[in-house]
C-alpha cells in the first residue's frame, strides 16, 4: 500500500537570533492570515523575523514585528510592512499557550517561516531567555563539535 505523498516543504526564513538568545521549550506550527501581496513577497524571501514576537490578547494570537518587504510587482494596494498579523490556531492551542506564557520569563517567538504545499506556515517557539553564561556554554559546545567533526574528516581522509 502506497503512503500518502507529503507536501513539499521549503524554509523561507529562519530566526537565528531567537535560537541564540532563547532556550526553546516547545515548538508548534501555525498558519497566518496574510494578504495576497504578503504571500508573494514571502515567497520571494522578503521576510525578516529578527525582532518579532507573538502577543496573546482577547483570545487571539498576533504576530508582531515581522517585517515583510513590499512585493516588487505590487501597486498602490501593496501591504503595510510591519502590521500585526493574526495567527491561525485552534481554541485549545490558544488556551494552552496562554496558560504556559503566564509563567515568568516564558514567551512566544516565531522561529521560522516555510511553505507546506501551497500554504505558508510559521514555526512558533515557546521560549525562555538564556543568561550570558548559557550563551557561552552553547558556543563552547558548538566549537567542540566542530573540532571533533574536523578531526573525524581528517582521520577519514588519511585512512582512505
103 vs 114, more confident: 114
> How far is C-alpha 73 from the chain's CA centre?
26
Give residue limits of the domains in the chain.
9-129, 131-160
Looking at residues 149-160, what average pLDDT do you find? Answer: 83
pLDDT at 112 over 90: yes
Tell me how far apart the alpha carbons of residues 137 and 127 are, in angstroms, rounded to a whole number.
18
Main-chain dihedrals φ then ψ at residue 18, nearest 5 degrees: -65, -40
Tell me how far apart the alpha carbons of residues 22 and 139 are, in angstroms, rounded to a whole number.
13
In this prediction the pTM is 0.77
Q: What is the pLDDT of residues 16-61, one digit of tens each?
A: 888 888 889 999 999 999 888 888 888 888 899 988 999 998 889 9
Instruction: Indicate the CATH number for domain 9-129.
Output: 2.40.280.10
Where do we find the cell 553564561? 133
User: DSSP letter at 6?
Assistant: P
pLDDT at 121 over 90: yes
Amino acid at each position: 500500500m502506497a503512503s500518502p505523498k507529503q507536501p513539499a516543504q521549503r524554509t523561507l526564513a529562519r530566526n537565528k537570533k531567537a535560537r541564540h538568545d532563547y532556550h526553546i521549550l516547545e515548538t508548534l506550527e501555525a498558519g497566518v492570515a496574510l494578504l495576497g501581496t504578503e504571500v508573494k513577497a514571502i515567497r520571494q524571501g522578503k521576510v525578516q523575523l529578527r525582532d518579532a514576537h507573538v502577543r496573546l490578547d482577547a483570545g487571539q494570537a498576533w504576530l508582531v514585528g515581522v517585517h515583510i518587504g513590499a512585493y516588487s510587482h505590487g501597486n498602490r494596494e501593496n501591504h503595510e510592512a510591519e502590521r500585526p498579523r493574526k495567527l491561525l490556531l485552534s481554541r485549545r492551542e490558544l488556551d494552552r499557550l496562554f496558560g504556559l506564557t503566564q509563567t515568568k520569563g516564558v514567551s512566544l517567538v516565531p522561529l521560522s517561516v516555510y511553505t507546506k504545499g501551497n500554504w505558508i506556515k510559521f514555526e512558533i517557539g515557546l521560549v525562555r531567555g538564556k543568561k550570558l553564561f548559557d550563551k557561552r556554554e552553547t558556543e563552547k559546545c558548538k566549537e567542540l563539535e566542530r573540532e571533533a567533526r574536523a578531526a573525524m574528516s581528517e582521520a577519514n581522509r588519511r585512512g582512505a
